[in-house]
Chains A and B, each alone.
Chain A
Amino acid sequence: MLEIKELKARIGDKEILKGINLTIRAGEVHALMGPNGSGKSTLAQALAGREEYEVTGGEVTYEGKNLLDLAPEDRACEGIFLAFQYPVEIPGVSTLYFLKAAMNAMNKYHGRSALDAMDFLALAKKKMSDLNMDQSLLHRSVNEGFSGGEKKKNEIFQMAMLDPKLAILDETDSGLDIDALRIVADGVNRLRDPARAILVVTHYQRLLEYIVPDRVHVLSDGRIVKSGGKELALELEKRGYSWVKEQAGDTSPAVS
């Protein structure tokens, strides 16, 4: 579904991604781990099309298309979803309205007719209760005044509504208490599907106890330095990131 070859990207003058190679097939869940500053979030945002991250080399093929040619909103319409590490507030715009605009944009992109308002509301309510989330959130402004946990849950709710082919979760576990973490993980697990691929970006192994990945990759200084099965996450937890760095021959100190 997704094939990344030698992807390089920078912010301003700073090169962050120094040649990423990664292939994700439909039905797979991949975990991307790594110390702070290794480039995890940059990769997630670059895939979603954030313009500040300038791609300087390499290629990304998604469903046979050159992903880098697509505008960010078209990537979303093609089925890529990014759950933000820091979800953005939009005052005065209700979550319900926001999602409806999103779904209608996607319907329009695919030449489908707009969603019936009642069907949409029924779907939203169902997804909310599936995720064990408070329905009042639908009528509140997007992320405004939400707690950290509510924001992350809102991302998972949006993901469930938009039904992406490729879901990228950017440190969705950060700042969550154990109950919220379970709800989030449960929401992701519900979306596991032979037709869908999921990329979980995380700093800690904790989330992977709930979302068990098929593959684990370790990112260090802009490169994937180690890949393996789910046991790699456990090993990392025991040995720390310095172990991978030593193996990779990277002697620079970990950035915290």
Chain B
Amino acid sequence: MKTSDDELQSIVEKQEYKWGFVTDIESDRAPKGLNEEIVRFISAKKEEPEWLLEWRLKAYRHWLTLEEPKWPMLKYGPIDYQDAYYYAAPKEKLASMDEVDPELIETFNKLGIPLEEQKALAGVAVDAVFDSVSVATTFREKLHEDGVIFCPFSEAVKDHPDLVRKYLGSVVPYSDNFFAALNSAVFTDGSFCFIPKGVRCPMELSTYFRINEANTGQFERTLIVAEEGSHVSYLEGCTAPMRDENQLHAAVVELVALDDAEIKYSTIQNWYPGNKEGVGGIYNFVTKRGACRGRNSKISWTQVETGSAITWKYPSCILQGDNSVGEFYSVALTNNYQQADTGTKMIHIGKNTKSTIVSKGISAGRGQNSYRGLVQIMKGATNSRNFSQCDSMLIGNDCGAHTFPYIDVRNPSSQVEHEASTTKIGEDQIFYCHSRGIALEDAVNMIVNGFCKEVFRELPMEFAVEAQKLLAVSLEGSVG
């Protein structure tokens, strides 16, 4: 027993974070701290219209009245919001891809995200966000042919102001919560996607977020609108350098699906998790929500959360349109001193709405992993159904798994099912693998990947393989 637990632990600990390098590039920063001047500074940098500045300022003033949520199962010291930079951008202003700083292109190459279209993964368009700005977006022309808009958020504000104004804050109002209000005040960039009526987006869209500067926060904003009968699959990835200070990442993602539209949103979150002793790492406080506004619309969230010192996120679906469908598939892994409080909300409003929740939490080292989810069936949501499955796996003796399911049903014709399990990666399973010649590390990877299979198969194929590798890397040293 003992040997195996220690050995398990050692597998998870061995691996270094491979994405932890720093790019040496001159950057343009806002003065440190947060006040109305900073909000105006950011808005001016982005050359924003007056209405957006007003919206930011309202958000900022509202934020001042709020307090950080204390209900999550997360322990961390106080965050000094004045001790950070809220805007940092590589100095060179870019007019086209040819002018992108080679240093930046090299950075993204190192991260496995080539920005030159000819080298890019076929069928995937990428928006690359570096600290506070988008540095490149590939395949825009090609997408444009189909009427798909995929561009940095700040450009969308300039080029498609009506669309932005119509949908910004319509799913996550600035007053939604502490971190959403903060984001609304100081968000810098992110991606904007618009899929017009009847169009099936011909490529995977993806955004790669990279934090580089020290002492900066990243506050991106993503807005995806799928018009009637359209379809889009979007993926985001994220990494950051290894630093001893904690850095804040507070994003907001809004999705809108109209009649018969479908949005598939996948996340592979690999922010720097901090070191083995729990020093450093990203504080990841993210609000993600999708509105199934139209009939027969569908929003599906898939997330693989392996990074960050702290993860606080609940990608949710508001199932407003009749027959709309919401899905949430999640793998969250906490190792060493990582903590995650993550889950989803499925709000059933329309008739015959359906939701599925599959959550797989893996805790290793001293990691703490909580699933927190709300399934709410409103009065008018006749014949609605939810199925939830929350499984936790423990590796070693010092980690924890917690489940907080909230179920609120106000309609008698609806059905809600909840299944939960907690397993410890078993001696029996490991010995069984050993007896077939499979060494400890491979055995653990195999068992954990098997545990996550239902979620991985929801990912676009190219990324499913990446996710499996990432999980293996994040686990190394955890088995003992």
Residues of chain A at the chain B interface (Cβ within 8 Å): 48-52, 71-73, 75-77, 81-82, 84, 87-93, 97-99, 101-103, 105-106, 109, 141, 158, 162
- State which of B257-265, B266-274, B284-292, B439-447 sits at the interface with chain A: B439-447
Instruction: Name which of B3, B428, B436 has the most chain A CB atoms within 10 A of its CB.
Output: B436
Nearest CB on B from A50, distance (A): 6
Nearest CB on A from B393, distance (A): 10
Q: Are A73 and B1 in contact (CB under 8 A)?
A: no
User: Please, how many angstroms separate the alpha-carbon atoms of A106 and B437 in the complex?
Assistant: 6
User: Which of A76, A87, A91, A97 is in CB contact (< 8 Å) with B437?
Assistant: A76
User: Please, how many angstroms separate the alpha-carbon atoms of A101 and B427 in the complex?
Assistant: 19
- State which of B44-52, B361-369, B405-413, B449-457 sits at the interface with chain A: B449-457
Which residues of B have CB within 8 Å of A87? Answer: 432
Nearest CB on B from A85, distance (A): 12
Given A87-B432, A88-B432, check contact A109 B450 (CB 8 Å).
Answer: no
Which residues of B have CB within 8 Å of A93? Answer: 446-447, 449-450, 453
Q: Are A52 and B1 in contact (CB under 8 A)?
A: yes
What mask results when residues 1 to 20 of chain B are scored 1 for a CB within 8 Å of chain A, else 0? Answer: 10110000000000000000
Nearest CB on A from B304, distance (A): 15
Question: Besides A73-B440, A77-B437, A101-B446, 13 other CB < 8 A contacts?
Answer: A48-B431, A49-B435, A51-B3, A73-B435, A76-B436, A88-B431, A88-B432, A90-B429, A93-B446, A98-B446, A101-B438, A102-B433, A105-B438
Which residues of B have CB within 8 Å of A158? Answer: 436
Q: Are B442 and A105 in contact (CB under 8 A)?
A: yes
Q: Is B469's CB within 8 Å of the partner chain A?
A: no
Q: Is B434's CB within 8 Å of the partner chain A?
A: yes
Q: Is B114's CB within 8 Å of the partner chain A?
A: no
User: Which of B432, B434, B450 is in CB contact (< 8 Å) with A91?
Assistant: B450
Nearest CB on A from B318, distance (A): 31
Which residues of A have CB within 8 Å of B433? Answer: 73, 90, 102
User: Please, how many angstroms separate the alpha-carbon atoms of A105 and B440 in the complex?
Assistant: 11
Q: Are B451 and A82 in contact (CB under 8 A)?
A: no
User: Please, how many angstroms separate the alpha-carbon atoms of A3 and B431 in the complex?
Assistant: 23
Q: Are B435 and A92 in contact (CB under 8 A)?
A: no
Which residues of A have CB within 8 Å of B442? Answer: 101, 105
User: Which of A51, A84, A99, A102 is in CB contact (< 8 Å) with B4?
Assistant: A51
Q: Are A91 and B435 in contact (CB under 8 A)?
A: no
Q: Is B426's CB within 8 Å of the partner chain A?
A: yes
User: Please, how many angstroms separate the alpha-carbon atoms of A82 and B432 in the complex?
Assistant: 9
Which residues of A have CB within 8 Å of B454? Answer: 92
Which residues of B have CB within 8 Å of A73? Answer: 433-435, 437-440
Which residues of B have CB within 8 Å of A50? Answer: 431
User: Please, how many angstroms separate the alpha-carbon atoms of A105 and B437 in the complex?
Assistant: 6
Which residues of A have CB within 8 Å of B438? Answer: 73, 101-102, 105
Nearest CB on A from B267, distance (A): 21
Nearest CB on B from A218, distance (A): 26
Q: Across the two chains, which residue of chain A brings its CB closest to B453? A: A92
User: Please, how many angstroms separate the alpha-carbon atoms of A106 and B429 in the complex?
Assistant: 18
Q: Are A92 and B437 in contact (CB under 8 A)?
A: no
Which residues of B have CB within 8 Å of A99? Answer: 436
Nearest CB on B from A167, distance (A): 12
Which residues of A have CB within 8 Å of B4? Answer: 51
User: Please, how many angstroms separate the alpha-carbon atoms of A52 and B427 in the complex?
Assistant: 9
Q: Are A72 and B449 in contact (CB under 8 A)?
A: no
Q: Are A51 and B432 in contact (CB under 8 A)?
A: no
Q: Are B437 and A102 in contact (CB under 8 A)?
A: yes
Which residues of A have CB within 8 Å of B440? Answer: 73
Which residues of B have CB within 8 Å of A98? Answer: 436, 446
User: Please, how many angstroms separate the alpha-carbon atoms of A97 and B449 in the complex?
Assistant: 12
Which residues of B have CB within 8 Å of A162? Answer: 436-437
Which residues of A have CB within 8 Å of B426? Answer: 88
User: Please, how many angstroms separate the alpha-carbon atoms of A81 and B1 in the complex?
Assistant: 22
Q: Are B435 and A76 in contact (CB under 8 A)?
A: yes
Which residues of A have CB within 8 Å of B451? Answer: 91-92
User: Please, how many angstroms separate the alpha-carbon atoms of A128 and B381 in the complex?
Assistant: 50
Nearest CB on B from A172, distance (A): 14
User: Please, how many angstroms separate the alpha-carbon atoms of A81 and B432 in the complex?
Assistant: 11
Nearest CB on A from B278, distance (A): 30
Nearest CB on A from B360, distance (A): 10
Which residues of A have CB within 8 Å of B3? Answer: 51
